[in-house]
Structure 1
Amino acid sequence: MNTPPTARSGTAEPANVLIIGAGPSGAVTARHLAERGFSVVCLEQGDWVNPTEFPGDKPEWELLSMRRWHHDPNVRRRAADYPCEVSGSDIHPVMFSGVGGSSLLFGAQWMRLLPSDFRTRTLDGVGDDWPFTYEELTPYYDRVDAEVGLSGLEGDPAYPPGWTPPMPPHPIGKIGKRAARGMNKLGWHWWPGPNAIASQRHGNLAQCVRIGACETGCPQGAKGSFDLTHWPIALRAGARLITGARVRRIHTDHKGLATGAVYLDRDGNEHFQPAEVVVLAANGVGTPRLLLLSQSDQFPDGLANSSGLVGKRLMLHPNGEVTGIYDEDMDSRLGPAGHSIHSLEFYETDADRGFVRGAKWQVMPTGGPLRALSLHDDAPFEDRWGANVHQLMRTTLGHTFQWGVNAEDLPEETNTVTLDGELTDSDGIPAPKINYRISENTRRLMRFSLNRLHEAHEAAGALKTVETELWSDQPGHLLGTARMGEDPNTSVVDGYGRAHDVSNLFIVDGSVFPTAGAVNPTATIAAIALRTAEHLAKNARAQEVPLS
């Protein structure tokens, strides 16, 4: 049992459900439980962000994106951020603390896992099968698609029939048409990319005006970030959202039930929020960090960690890209970004390639002049200075697009989130330490895809291609560190996100993924959160709770 909060701590009225984290999964859970009449409190260490603060409609937006609005908390260093120790990692996890979480800065590529992703052990002999199937998750996918304002085109042959996005797709633009021409020449799959970006007005969302700066926040308010799509509804339904609240541990009673959480406000004052049920929605780094911080005599290896898997099997979706430079202006400054088109041609396992599983490709715009200039970093300095810069801009800005690769990585227990022994956040709480190395299988997979991406550009008529073999600080897909499964010896939570060791503790974020797939995961995270929220509500009368 944890040491109880001190008498000096502020203690609030108990909630039916306490949610930790106001990102996508926390927002979905809060909305749907509050709408069903539960008293819901959510603790979020960040704040609300007004869309007018985002840099995308400002002349200096690329400069602002390099520090104040950078996606890496180690670079951005906002008051709500916590640092990550990444010296032992090939990729630096990226995230954002605030109402809406990392959806404020995501590209809003809104794709479902494929049916095969739920059965990799059965089909390919790797990873683990999920405790439910694509078909079982489909009705939840359908509902969150409508809630976030998904824009897309039905009929993608890579998916089972029946997926009908609620809004029409965005135009694929000149870059999509040029890329598609190359794919058609090669006979490879492509499809207009589904995006959680409104192609017409939808609820609280404005219509997209194609600013193209989606990954530094949408000034128009057209992107389906969860501060716009879910939190206003949750608050109207009675949910309470406390911002600036940094949770330092979850408390348990003598029976091992969660009783609530201790958090610090911005002034360093300690508070205790009691609850009958605790839901973790702090992402695949923040959730294992908090479970490990909640170690006690009763849970000596961390809360809910009898399996020893809390913080293990971290999956980060390694990303690389090949940018093509073309002989025409294709308006590649314009959005959405998002993806214009995607390809699942090399998604499934083919043993002849020398690796298992696969990747999702996506065409994205390439932004402004600083990004355009960076494509010539290998040129002599004198060619990138003075009058020559203007010539480079004339032949590069707007003349490029990016084929990106989002690679599946397999769950490996050596890829971990632990607590660092020295680094702390601004409140002195131990920071997460990331140990993540890309496997040989994933390196082969990446190399194969990058080689094919050069071919795709060449088939589309590119004059030159420039490769980034690995983005060290992308894409912010934080998965697998508290995996779900039926066996308490080999998983942290069951198929509904309930911790095997703590019957009133649930996890709803990407940490529960048994395997990662290769598509952007937020649609699946949101669908799982909705499924868990409805299961919790349906079974509330039978739910064991701590004595008040």
Structure 2
Amino acid sequence: MTDNYSADVVVIGSGIVGSLVAHRLAKQGISVIILESGPRFDRGAITENFRNSPRKNDFMSPYPFSPWSPHPVYKPQSNDYLVQMGPYPYAAEYIRMVGGTTWHWAAQAWRVLPNDMKIHTLYGVGRDWPISYDELEPFYYEAEVKMGVSGAPNNGSPRSQPFPMEPVAESWLQQRFRERLAPGGYEVIVNTTARNSRNYDGRPACCGNNNCMPICPIDAQYHGGIAAQAAEDAGAKLIANAVVYRLEHDEKGRIVAAHYYDPDKGTHKVTAKNFVLAANGIESPKLLLLSASDKYPQGLANSSGTVGRNLMDHPSNSLTFDCDEPLWPGRGPMSPGSINSLRDGAFRSDYASFRIDISNASQVLSATSALLAEGVYGIDLDKQINYRAAHQMSLKNVMELLPDPENRVVLSDRKDALGIPTPGVIYHMSDYVHKGMARAVEEYTKIAKLMGGSNLRFSKPGIYGNNQHITGTMSMGNDPHDSVVDAFGRCHDHENLFIASTGVMPTSATVNSTLTAVALGLRTADHLAKTAL
């Protein structure tokens, strides 16, 4: 073992949250080391991997898989890294490499609604946040400026300042949905995204590649790789291929070191005054559980017994249909607009709230695959591909899942190549979600009618997609008996261990979790710099 490095702050995880926390601290002259378990890769190599991939509908295929830092893989077959322990499958996808999972996101960067943070008080479900929307609002704006975010000003989330950028121009599909749904009472608004509509922060404007997932080939949308580079440019030291397997504490419970393996299982130790755990909502609780000791037999930060519990995401059902006019999805952002009218309301006491996303992803691949499966070939195949690629539309929802302690991340009996236990997940769906999904089907049907829809194909009842928005496994709260961290992300059990992750969110709301996690992380960094250094 070698004691190679020491710093004021060690950040574990170089995803978008950890990197922007490191960037904020380093800019203040604080010495920061970032430990990233996965390798370093660049956009050009990822783009080339995607071009050469035979699985264009597999958004994980372009990304490097490293035996020392594995992530879940499901195609062409599952690697069983994330052990499914039932009763409902939770096929989370995330990337373990420098920059993390936002390399392949849709760049949706929404704020939660103020009411999302007090749903127990208002609707008697879920739990309230220990902070208010107004307390988080300045950090939302700081995150938006760093990431280059634009959106509709009337999206329900109050703002103290305008978006730093105007939205990308409407696609034809988005315009026609907005025009045709308006008479039915539906307002289609532009999605809130970290995607350039003009040159911004040295990066170009979106040129409509329709390749937002798995990789924007020109860096028009923000991602964790850009954040990691910014942190390094500000003075942070980033160590790739550093698989942290244990956090060491002293007799008072303060964290004194992070121990990591290199790819050859050589051991290393990094010391610091403060530590920020910034991996995702699965890998972070895994590390806390791995770090169990005689003093903390249930794992670190776990006196409440809630580490790994209250796992949430956003389940989805969907509708695919044929519009009565050609809209040619496939030019511009893949997810340009949405319907937000059911994000909040008294109904939340009874069933889940949701947002409806309108897809602008190219339909050529899905249409071609379906036609070949139907046995269509020759001249008719060409004709049918042309028609379906122009007319086929799809809708899906982003639905709130309430915190439930029985939905959880645990250590499995399986081990990876370094001998580290892999995570297991226990997951199920409630009637609250099923009722929300039924309401979504009603809304889809009305929308399809307004669009002259035919050949309606609903997703299978009770079988829901997953949006890869991992939240809730290390919830923040005021009471150490039912939460892991306080309102600033400091662990109740360890005064110098902070958590900056989607996992600290007490509820999932109805929007992608990234911007909220970044805002919370920046608030944590601000508090850490003022009080702990």
Sort the TM-score into its range (normalised by shorter chain): over 0.9
Query: Who is 1:4 aligned against?
Result: none
- The equivalences for 1:340-355 within 5 A come to 340-351=336-347, 355=350
| Aligned residue identity for 1:37 | G
Distance 1:136 1:264 in 2: 39
Is residue 283–residue 509 contact of structure 1 (8 Å, CA) maintained in 2?
A: yes
Q: What residue is the counterpart of 2:100 in the other structure?
A: 101
Contact 1:90 1:472 in 2 (8 A): no
- Matched residue, 2:455: 464
Counterparts of 2:125 and 2:63, CA distance in 1:
35
Offset at residue 290 of structure 1 (A): 0.6
C-alpha displacement of 1:174: 1.5
Residue in 2 aligned with 1:532? 524
The equivalent residue for 1:451 is 442
1:26 and 1:113 map into 2 onto residues whose CA distance is 20
1:170 corresponds in structure 2 to: 168
Residue 239 of structure 1, CA deviation: 0.2
Once the two structures are TM-superposed, the CA of residue 206 in structure 1 deviates from its matched residue by 2.0
Distance in 1 (CA, whole Å) between partners of 2:100 and 2:396 is: 24
- Residue 39 to residue 57, structure 1, CA distance change in 2 (3 Å): closer
The verdict on how the C-alpha distance between 1:54 and 1:175 changes in structure 2, with shifts beyond 3 A counting, is farther
Kindly indicate whether the alpha-carbon contact (under 8 Å) linking 1:246 and 1:264 is maintained by their aligned counterparts in 2: yes
Equivalent in the alignment of 1:309: 306
Letter matched to residue 247 of structure 1: V
Percentage identity across aligned positions? 31
Letter in 2 for 1:407: M
Q: Which residue of 1 aligns with 2:484?
A: 492
Q: Cα distance, 1:329 vs. partner? A: 3.2
Deviation (angstroms), 1:273: 1.1
Alignment of 1:152-163 (within 5 A): 152-156=151-155, 158-160=156-158, 162=160
The answer to whether residue 143 in structure 2 is matched with residue 144 in structure 1 is yes
Q: Is the 8 A contact 2:15 2:224 kept in 1?
A: yes
Task: Report what 1:3 is aligned to.
Answer: none
Name the structure 1 match of 2:515. Answer: 523
Identify which of 468, 473, 481 aligns with 1:476.
468
Task: Report the residue type matching 2:420 in the other structure.
Answer: I
Indicate the residue corresponding to 1:544 in structure 2: none
SS at match of 2:282: helix
Q: Give the conservation status (yes or no) of the 8 Å contact 2:317–2:465.
A: no
Deviates more, 1:93-102 or 1:495-504: 93-102
Whole-angstrom distance in 2 between the partners of 1:288 and 1:207: 37
Distance between the aligned counterparts of 2:104 and 2:180, measured in 1? Answer: 30
Residues 155, 162 of structure 1: CA spacing in aligned structure 2 closer, same or farther, 3 A cutoff?
farther
For residues 354 and 122 of structure 1, the distance between their equivalents in structure 2, rounded to whole angstroms, comes to: 11
Letter in 1 for 2:147: V
Q: Distance in 1 between matches of 2:440 and 2:464?
A: 17
Q: Is the 8 A contact 1:493 1:512 kept in 2?
A: yes
Amino acid of the structure 2 residue aligned with 1:429: I
Distance (Å, rounded) in 2 between the aligned partners of 1:143 and 1:190: 27
Q: Could you say which residue in structure 2 is the equivalent of 1:119?
A: 118
Residue identity in the other structure for 2:483: S
Q: 1:29: Cα distance to partner?
A: 0.7
Measure the CA separation in 1 of the matches of 2:248 and 2:76.
29
Note the alpha carbon deviations across 1:13-52, whole angstroms, 9 max, x for none.
Answer: 3111111111111011100000111110111112232212
Q: SS of 1:216's equivalent?
A: coil
> Which residue in the other structure is 2:291 paired with?
294
Instruction: Say whether 1:227 aligns with 2:225.
Output: yes
The two structures have a TM-score, normalised by structure 2, of 0.93
> Could you report, residue by residue, the CA deviation over 1:218-250 in whole angstroms, capped at 9, with x for unpaired residues?
11111110211x222211221000111111111
**2:109/2:514 contact within 8 Å kept:** yes
> Is contact 2:319-2:394 (8 Å) kept?
yes
1:179 maps to 2:189: no
Aligned partner of 1:68 in structure 2 is 61
Partner in structure 2 of residue 284 of structure 1: 281
In structure 1, the residue matched to 2:211 is 213
Tell me if the contact between 1:108 and 1:195 (Cα under 8 Å) persists in the aligned partners.
Answer: yes
Q: Tell me if structure 1 keeps the 8 A contact 2:127–2:506.
A: yes
When residues 501 and 345 of structure 1 are mapped into structure 2, their CA distance, relative to the original with a 3 A threshold, is: same
Letter in 2 for 1:359: F
Q: Say whether the 8 Å CA contact 2:16–2:228 is kept in structure 1.
A: no
Q: Which amino acid aligns with 1:452?
A: E
Displacement, 1:181? 2.7
Name the count of aligned residue pairs: 523
Distance 1:70 1:464 in 2: 36
Amino acid at match of 2:493: D
**Stretch of structure 1 that moved more, 126-135 or 528-537:** 126-135
Report how far residue 467 of structure 1 moved: 2.2
Query: How far has the Cα of 1:62 moved from its partner?
Result: 6.7
Describe the superposition over 1:44-88 as per-residue Cα deviations: whole angstroms up to 9, x where unpaired: 11223221223489666672443623898223699xx99211252
Contact 1:349–1:357 at 8 Å: present in 2 too?
no
Alpha-carbon shift at residue 304 of structure 1 (Å): 0.7
TM-score, length basis structure 1: 0.90
Which letter maps to 2:193? N
Alpha-carbon distance in structure 2 between the residues aligned to 1:442 and 1:29: 34
Equivalent positions of 1:280-429 (< 5 A) are 280-337=277-334, 339-351=335-347, 355-374=350-369, 381-382=374-375, 384-421=376-413, 423-429=414-420
- RMSD, aligned CA: 2.4
CA–CA distance in structure 1, aligned partners of residues 482 and 257 of structure 2: 26
State the SS of the aligned residue for 1:451.
helix
1:184-203 correspondence runs (5 A): 184-203=182-201
Deviates more, 1:361-370 or 1:130-139: 361-370
Shift of 1:101: 0.8
Deviations 1:105-129 (A, max 9, x none): 1111111000100101110011111
More divergent stretch after superposition (531-540 vs 233-242): 233-242
Q: Distance in 2 between matches of 1:161 and 1:281?
A: 27
Residue of structure 2 in register with 1:48 after alignment: 40
Partner in structure 2 of residue 432 of structure 1: 423
Structure 1 residues 187 and 376: CA distance shift in structure 2, 3 A: farther
User: Aligned in 2, Cα 1:165/1:444: closer, same or farther, shift over 3 Å?
Assistant: same
Local SS of the residue matching 1:433: strand
Report the residue type matching 1:394 in the other structure.
N
Which AA in structure 1 matches 2:99? G
Q: Tell me how far 1:340 sits from its aligned partner.
A: 1.4
Aligned equivalent of 2:251: 254
Quote the Cα distance in structure 2 between the aligned partners of 1:335 and 1:468.
Answer: 25
The aligned residue for residue 268 of structure 2 is 271
| 1:85 alignment partner in structure 2 | 83
Aligned equivalents of 1:220, 1:57: Cα separation in 2: 15
C-alpha displacement of 1:530? 0.3
